Structure 1
């Protein structure tokens, strides 16, 4: 079954790409994904300052800069994984560094 991991953290303290690449915990998580052949797609997202929100109300399209939510924790990346079941998806999510400092939300993918 496919699951989407929504990687959420306070982006004001988010590490750079270089810091992530050098992080032993991130390296271990990526090695675990590779050994499971679990990662199907993923991407780190640009900061919320680059976001655009779109809403349609009463036939009118409303466009605004920034995210919809007003919170310090934002989705900073996504990973789509293949896992046998929710327990395996939880094990994969628990290995992500952000599970130790932010949150990793798991959502099953409609297939």
Structure 2
């Protein structure tokens, strides 16, 4: 499954993001969080991504994150690239989940 988000992932949208992702974790299917259309990512958004990663790891559920250059730079700046399974393209993310 691929979840594509657009706009901003910040303190105002974080709750909606977490609710949506948490509801879809019940499907027990590996998924991609596609942030290539996100204009802005702040610490609240990063926190939501970290929480999602923790839930996935606890449930042994495969996931990965794809971001545009701005989002990827923010994630790498705080050294969360490996933890969030950050990939540079949707194709890379889907290949990652196949393995």
Question: What TM-score, normalized by structure 2, do the two folds share?
Answer: 0.27
Determine which structure has greater relative contact order: mean sequence separation of CA pairs < 8 Å that are 6+ residues apart, divided by chain length.
1
Q: Pick the structure with greater CA Rg.
A: 1
Flag the structure with higher helix content: 2
Comparing both structures, which one devotes a greater share of its residues to strand? 1
Q: TM-score, normalization: structure 1? A: 0.25
